[in-house]
Amino acid sequence: MNHSSASDREEAQALRAQLQEHNYRYYVLDDPSVPDSEYDRLFQRLLALEQAHPDLITQDSPTQRVGAAPLAAFKQVQHRVPMLSLDNVFNAAELLAFEKRIHDRLKSEVPVDFVCEPKLDGLAVSLLYRDGLFVQGATRGDGETGEDITQNLRTLSTVPLRLMGEGFPSELEVRGEVYMPKAGLAELNQRQTSAGDKTFANPRNAAAGSLRQLDPRITAKRPLELYCYGIGHVAGGTLPARHSAILAALGKWGFRVNPEIRSAANAAECQRYYDALLARRDALAYDIDGVVYKVDELALQQRLGFVSRAPRWAIAHKFPAQEEITRLLDVEFQVGRTGAVTPVARLEPVYVGGVTVSNATLHNMDEVARLDIHVGDTVVVLRAGDVIPRIVRVLPERRPPYAPVVMLPAACPVCGSAITREEGEAVARCSGGLFCPAQTKEAIKHFSARRAMDIDGLGDKIVDQLVDTGLVASVADLYSLASASLAALERMGEKSADKLVAAIAKSRNTTFQRFLFALGIREVGEATAQTLARHYETLDALLRADEASLLEVPDIGPVSARNIVQFFAQPHNREVLDRLLAAEIHWPAPVKADVSALPLSDQTLVLTGSLSQLSRDEAGDHLRALGAKVSGSVSKNTTAVYAGEKAGSKLARAESLGIPVYTEDELMSLLREHGRL
């Protein structure tokens, strides 16, 4: 072993003290005095010293939070002071009754001060310190006996390994709640999903599961934190006479104490605290399921004593439950504005999260399969704040015989069109995009957009009114609108109505490419529409195409080919298409030209940034007229990128791939060279 020198020992001791101070300022005071980089530098220096001289490693070293070797099993710990549970109250009347019981037992009407604390939804633990050094940590267990999780607790940055300051008893047992912040749970579940492991339903389950790992190295990787709320066994010293003062002392000794803790002079003030915290519940970084009220004065706590396994001087005021059990009556399918078909659970009404819930989202069929949900199942419903209620798990042991499995319908429940679901996609969709009433507004907005049919003046609010008043049920109805009916709409006078009718009439003269893009076929954007228009030249030819022939078209893949065929195969879509053609929508007859002879036919170009001499849309049209494919993203197949002002990620991507980048002036020169300007 390479023994350390006196200077090494002094440096290691100084580094430990600095890191401990920085941890205290960061985790307890929430007021870091150095940037993370400086902390990391100090930490790495201490780590290097300890690796070079193992005799420098101490139990309280910040480097010792990584977790030790796995345990065969947890040892049992007897709590010298029982970790009691709390009785509950659920409303203001029960809270007043709690206060009255205190006054009756004390035989006094003198106001009693309370301390109000958030009731974290985590795992209660006990931390034992001897001469300021953390020596043992345990779970609450049954209140009398817990499990020794010392090595796991040592991995938590918010558990001080050595107390700060002075004045603490030689033996001090601190009680607290280990929890997982909401953001930490989201991050952990993302990692679990990426690794193919099981995710956690809520922060409490995640905290409990993480803290009770036999391998502390797993615990060390979990985003666990600790708030302290009280004390247990104390020897070799004295503590303040009030609970609030004890909490203040714990903060000075290095423990995190919840900043939401407040004092209250009576039950009415306790109730106001409860109401205020309930209103902010969802904005907190962690889950709480209520608040706790404690008599502040320790002498009064001793006089009040205990009843059964709960103190008479403290009570938990529970928030409305966010999870409840109910029965799944049926599953219906709703169609969204983009055609997404979503399963919705119809529930036996249940009071959860402060409201009566009778519906819950199931998201998609993958979620239905994950839950293994059957009609008639008993389910657990979660509602947190204003979040849409959702089913989080099923109780299969309560499943009735022959409970039917939930199946995706073959046809749209709104319009009867086929429902499709691409391989690898979670969302199923109605294929009746032009016809389906659930999709009408979005279909019209897309159809009339500038890059599609370019109907000037047909904004979102007018579209909403047209559909809501029944004037328009599909895009084909636009071409039968009259000025008189439009003028009757809100904020739409005769002049505006005449302008809109004229704009609709003008849109009849379009291009095959724009028309195809306007139809809103999934996976058919502007570039694909242009490719289809060039290849098939006429709508009749495209309507006769099958998937095999579509796959022969450059840049048309299996998904696009399938979507195109399915779209035109829907009778409802064909009906709307016929009506559009009957409304005299037309485009120039194809000019027979050898596209391969065009000067840029073999090039894939990308435009990025702001152009000053013409718009990107105009530049794109010029380039397409010269035979180029204009793409919206940079890939290894990109020929060149033309970059204007404030070009961003596309420019960086091109440079990283070594793709030529040209300026706007060079673009103008190219267009002039080929007679486009």
Query: Rounded distance, CA 505 to CA 482, Å?
Result: 11
Specify the CATH number for the domain of residue 368.
2.40.50.140
- Per DSSP, the residues of 33-87 read SS-HHHHHHHHHHHHHHHHH-GGG--TT-GGGGS--SPPSSPPEEE-SS------
Supply 251's token pair. 């903060």
Q: pLDDT band at residue 518, thresholds of 50, 70 and 90?
A: very high
Average pLDDT over residues 203-212: 83
d(CA 415, CA 436): 5
Task: Indicate whether 542 and 656 sit together in one domain.
Answer: no
Same domain, 465 and 556: yes
**Does pLDDT of 322 surpass 80?**
no
Between 209 and 94, the more confident residue is 94
- In a domain? residue 82: no
- Catalytic one of 100, 119, 506, 636: 119
pLDDT in tens, 627-645: 888 887 788 889 999 998 8
* pLDDT-based confidence at residue 354 (cuts at 50, 70, 90): confident
In a domain, 80, yes or no: no
pLDDT tier, 455 (very low <50, low <70, confident <90, very high otherwise): very high
Say if CB 315 and CB 98 are below 8 A apart: yes
Asked which of 528, 547, 582 is the last residue of a domain, the reply is: 582
Averaged pLDDT, 16-37: 70
For 524-574, the pLDDT digits (tens) are 888 888 889 888 889 999 999 999 888 888 778 888 888 899 889 988 889
Higher per-residue confidence, 314 vs 46? 314
Better-scored residue on pLDDT, 27 or 228: 228
To 10 degrees, what angle do helices 460-468 and 440-447 make? Answer: 140
The band of 70, judged by pLDDT with boundaries at 50, 70 and 90, is low
From 35-39, 434-438, 611-615, the region with the lowest mean pLDDT: 35-39
Among 288-302, 490-504, 605-619, the minimum mean pLDDT is found in 605-619
Q: Total domain count for the chain?
A: 5
587 part of a folded domain: no
d(CA 648, CA 646): 6
Query: Residue 33 — very low, low, confident or very high, per pLDDT cuts 50/70/90?
Result: low
> What are the residues facing 347 on neighbouring strands?
328
Q: Is 419 a member of any domain? A: no
Of 113-122, 330-339, 603-612, the range with the highest mean pLDDT is: 113-122
Which structural domain range is residue 194 located in? 88-318
Q: In this predicted structure, what is the pLDDT of residue 37?
A: 61
Average pLDDT in the 145-165 region?
92
Dihedral over Cα of 651, 657, 658, 660: its sign: negative
- The answer to whether residues 568 and 650 belong to one domain is no
- Pick from 448, 216, 414, 279: nearest CA to 333: 414
Residues 344 and 377 in one domain: yes
Q: What percent of the chain has pLDDT over 90?
A: 43
- Based on its alpha-carbon atoms, the radius of gyration of the chain, rounded to whole angstroms, reads 35
Boundary (domain end) residue, out of 48, 64, 80:
64
Give me the half-sphere count of Cα atoms (radius 13 Å) on the Cβ side of residue 25. 13
In a shared domain, residues 179 and 97:
yes
Asked if residue 90 has pLDDT above 90, the reply is no
Instruction: Determine the pLDDT at residue 630.
Output: 82
In angstroms, rounded to a whole number, what is the distance separating the alpha carbons of residues 125 and 291? Answer: 18
Please report whether residue 453 resides in a domain.
yes
Q: Residues 536, 515: contact at Cβ < 8 Å?
A: no
Q: Do 478 and 564 belong to one domain? A: yes
Section 448-469 average pLDDT: 90
Catalytic residue status for 119: yes
Whether residues 567 and 666 share a domain: the answer is no
> Looking at the structure, do residues 153 and 37 belong to the same domain, yes or no?
no
Rounded Cα gap, residues 645 and 226, in angstroms: 50
**Rounded CA gap, 170 and 73, in Å?**
30
Residue 103, in any domain of the structure: yes
| 177 has pLDDT over 70 | yes
- Of 87-101, 102-116, 422-436, 507-521, where does mean pLDDT reach its minimum? 422-436
Following CA atoms 141, 146, 150, 154 in sequence, which dihedral angle do they give, to the nearest 10 degrees?
20
Q: 148 pLDDT exceeds 60?
A: yes
With respect to residue 403, please indicate whether it lies within any of the assigned structural domains: no
**What would the two tokens of residue 356 be?**
């009566």
411 lies in a domain? no
| Average pLDDT score over residue span 111-116 | 95
For residue 410, what pLDDT band results from cuts at 50, 70 and 90? very high
Kindly tell me if the per-residue pLDDT of 1 is higher than 60: no
Q: Are residues 419 and 411 in contact, defined by beta-carbon separation less than 8 angstroms?
A: yes
Domain co-membership, 339 together with 307:
no
Mean pLDDT taken over the chain: 87
Kindly tell me if the per-residue pLDDT of 67 is higher than 50.
no
Q: How sure is the predictor about 401, in pLDDT bands with cuts at 50, 70 and 90? A: very high
Q: Are residues 489 and 568 in the same domain?
A: yes
Last residue of a domain, one of 368, 398, 428: 398
- Centre a 10 Å sphere on the Cβ of residue 51 and count the other Cβ atoms it contains: 12
24/15 Cα distance (integer angstroms): 14
CATH of residue 23 = 1.10.287.610
Same domain assignment for residues 271 and 182: yes
At 360, phi and psi to the nearest 5?
Answer: -150, 145
**Is residue 304 pLDDT above 80, yes or no?**
yes
- The per-residue pLDDT for range 230-263, each reduced to its tens digit, is 999 999 999 999 999 999 999 999 999 999 999 9
Query: CB-based contacts of 462: which residues, under 8 Å, 6+ apart?
Result: 489, 492, 500
Q: SS3 string of 343-406?
A: EEEEEEEEEECCEEEEEEECCCHHHHHHHCCECCCEEEEECCCCCCCEEEEECHHHCCCCCCEC
Residue 451 and residue 389 share a domain = no
Q: Do residues 116 and 110 make contact, with C-beta atoms less than 8 angstroms apart?
A: no
User: What per-residue confidence (pLDDT) applies to 29?
Assistant: 64
Q: Compute CA 252 distance to the chain's CA centroid, rounded to the nearest angstrom.
A: 36
